[in-house]
Chain A
Amino acid sequence: MKRSTLLLVALLALAFLTSLAAGKVWIGPADWFADTANGWIMAELRLPRAILGASVGAVLGLSGAVLQGYLRNPLADPTVVGVSSSAALGGVIAILLGVSGLAMFGFAMAGAAISVALLVALAGRSGGPLGFILAGMVLATLSGSLTALLISMAPNPFATSEIIAWMMGALTDRTMDDVARALPFMVLGSVILLLTARSLDALTLGEDAARSMGVEPDRLRWQIALGTGLAVGASVAVTGVVGFVGLIVPHFIRRIVGERPSATLIPSAIGGAILTLAADSAVRLLPGAGEVRLGIAMAAIGAPFFFLLLTRIRREPA
């Protein structure tokens, strides 16, 4: 393993352990397996939260790296192609129907599945990456406006606030049931996304060159839509929409491991997990009665960082 990967793995371990220990109550390793209140917090609250934080961050970082490679555009991320907002729409419908738990998860996944089908169909037979991103933006806009429509039609203020709170993305009060539901989809989706690595490298030289090197564009589009749908759909289904991770992380990773798309995939997954765990630990440590929503915290951290990154990229000669 390369030194940079080892460093990322070490940081991930640190972020994971911090996420377990940090919170309104600090829990030291001695209490983790104890039969006390703290032991219960650890097993029932902190552990599922840390596992979800790491896995949600990982799929967001990975799918961001895959989409940026596929679209050959450093501004792509899962929210751009409409999967996140479609899954969120499914979740909102579930809240309005008053269902939760497994049923809500099913609604969000159904939203993601519909977006995958539409993405592949709208992107067309010869669309290529350009058709893909246009279809994705149409989907994102459509599901965003449907969500807004549903919010405006919510029967009471409680439903409205529940929807808005859920959509902002959070890892609060998640259970092992959530982990058990989401993890298989995330793993399957990630494996499908990792299988695109070689094709993404070939696409560096353009669509014609990639095809001449044996990349089948239709199959690649399917793989990316399906992989993103499964992995990101499942993450939205359990945490709501957490933005910026998929956008920012691959930029940092490229500076460490170079720009070859296949080389950025696994480090971006690890980097996404680190960033999400760190941000989720931070929101718990901020003073105050409640908690800042993870999605909001991520945007607050992400936007300035990204701005900094852009100004640095600008200054380099083209």
Chain B
Amino acid sequence: MIGIEALSVTLGKQQVVEALTLSLQRGRVTAILGANGAGKTSLLRAIAGLVPPSAGSISIDDTPIAALSLPERARRLGYLPQNGQPAWALTVRELVALGRLPHRSPFAALSPGDEAAIDAAIAQTDVTHLADRTVDTLSGGEKARAKFARVLAAETDWILADEPLANLDPPHQQDVLRLMRAAADAGKGVLVVLHQLDAAARAADDILILKQGRAVAFGPCVEVLTPATLEAAFDMAMDVITHQGRVAILPR
């Protein structure tokens, strides 16, 4: 469980997350929605330990994350940043192997356990046939899967993903959503920042909607995705339409 208590985050003089209290459970996909500048990325970075809270606290299984060393934190929280293009043309396998860094001692070669985790992550994300290709030769969808594999290989309890669907076409968006669903079904907690409301409706169990750093709504998908909350969050009227058990959100 990740417990967030009266969390505030300040960037410069700007308060980007304000007095947020909520708790997240493993085994569920939680989508964070909100307009640009609502504090979604800052919240995710605070949970990942990349920005210190200006007030309040974040704990993981009742241990404050501030009390964990960086490597300990890295073994429990996997973080997938926005637009993280690898600086060097690693092979897919080398990229995925980076996920094992928090588990390895300096200079030690990859252990059989490391290799197994890398193989499993590569298989789950369906990039086995690309393993020896360098990442600069991959398509956007392939790259997204390879980057997801890196986080899976870390075998963390939690996956924090910042806009993993950016620049992907609908089928590849669906691939990434399916990977997050599978990770949650396997017992991980998945927290994902999304801009695609329809995708959130399809893939998330719970939804947190932020506006100017405050929670507008938090709860199961069907309770949160209502015209009233969406209008409150985005200042724009939207219709929520159910079609054959699926939800579509149409701006009016």
Using a CB–CB distance below 8 Å, which chain A residues touch chain B? 69, 72, 195, 198, 201-206, 208-209, 211-216, 254, 258-261
Contact = CB atoms under 8 A, between A and B. Distances in A.
Q: Is the interface of B mostly helix, strand, loop or mixed?
A: mixed
Interface string B9-22: 00000000000000
A178 to B, nearest CB: 31
A216 B106 CA distance: 14
Contact of B88 (A198, A208, A209, A259): A259
B44 to A, nearest CB: 10
Interface string B23-52: 000000000000000000000010011100
A225 to B, nearest CB: 19
9 contacts: A195-B106, A202-B98, A203-B87, A204-B87, A205-B150, A206-B87, A208-B79, A213-B101, A258-B134
A201 B101 contact: yes
A211 B101 contact: no
A261 B88 contact: yes
A130 B84 CA distance: 17
B117 to A, nearest CB: 14
A101 B101 CA distance: 45
Nearest to A208: B81
B87 A202 contact: no
B226 to A, nearest CB: 34
B89 interface: yes
B186 interface: no
Contacts of A212: 48-50, 73-74, 77-79, 81
A206 B77 CA distance: 17
Interface in B108-138: 134
A261 to B, nearest CB: 7
A211 B70 contact: yes
B50 A213 contact: no
Contacts of B219: none
Contacts of A198: 101, 104, 106
A195 B84 CA distance: 25
Contacts of A261: 88
B102 interface: yes
Most buried by B among A206, A209, A216, A258: A209
A215 B84 contact: no
B94 interface: yes
B70 A214 contact: yes
B134 A259 contact: yes
A209 B90 contact: no
